[in-house]
């Protein structure tokens, strides 16, 4: 017969240990994410790198020369394929505006839910 294996009960830490000690608000977290390290290469440089490949250099040479990962190069190529510098800047501006608008919608929908709950709690519902 096979030997019986022992099973050990896993002990969970108390819930208070799982919470971060310095919890931050959502607004502070968003500001921290905005200050996170940006890309090593600017959009201008990325487009220049992609144009080198279009000019005839092999992708492997360019990847090795600039010290980027192969996946990064192909992700850039997918995103910036055929894009000129002005178009890339405009695209980045639109993405930033889209992020800002999404944040506004999220905040307004949260405010709406809070007001609904206050109205329901106070019995002011029609």
**What distance in Å separates the CA atoms of residue 77 and residue 80, rounded to the nearest whole number?**
5
Residue 71's domain spans which residues? 40-83
Indicate if 57 and 93 belong to the same structural domain.
Answer: no
What is the residue-wise DSSP string for 16-38? HHHS-SS---HHHHHHHHHTS--
The predicted model gives 113-124 an average pLDDT of: 87
**Helix/strand/coil for 106:** helix
Question: Is 29 part of a structural domain of the chain?
Answer: no
Q: Is 50 exposed, middle or buried (0-12, 13-18, 19+ CB in 10 A)?
A: buried
Rg (CA), the chain: 26
Q: With 90 as the cut, is the pLDDT of residue 64 above it? A: yes
Same domain, 77 and 103: no
Q: Is-above-0.85 flag for pTM?
A: no
Q: Number of folded domains in the chain?
A: 2
Q: Does 1 fall in a domain?
A: no
Residue 2 pLDDT class (50, 70, 90 cuts): low
Q: Label residue 88 by pLDDT band (50, 70, 90).
A: confident
């Amino acid at each position: 017969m096979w030997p019986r294996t022992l099973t050990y009960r896993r002990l969970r830490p108390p819930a208070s240990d799982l919470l971060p000690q310095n919890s931050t608000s959502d607004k502070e977290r968003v500001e921290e994410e905005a200050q996170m390290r940006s890309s090593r290469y600017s959009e201008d440089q990325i487009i220049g790198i992609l144009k080198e490949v279009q000019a005839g250099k092999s992708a492997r040479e360019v990847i090795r020369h600039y010290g980027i990962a192969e996946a990064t190069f192909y992700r850039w190529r997918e995103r910036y394929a055929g894009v000129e510098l002005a178009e890339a800047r405009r695209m980045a501006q639109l993405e930033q505006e889209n992020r800002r608008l999404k944040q506004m919608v999220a905040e307004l929908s949260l405010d709406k839910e809070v007001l609904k709950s206050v109205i329901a709690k106070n019995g002011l519902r029609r």
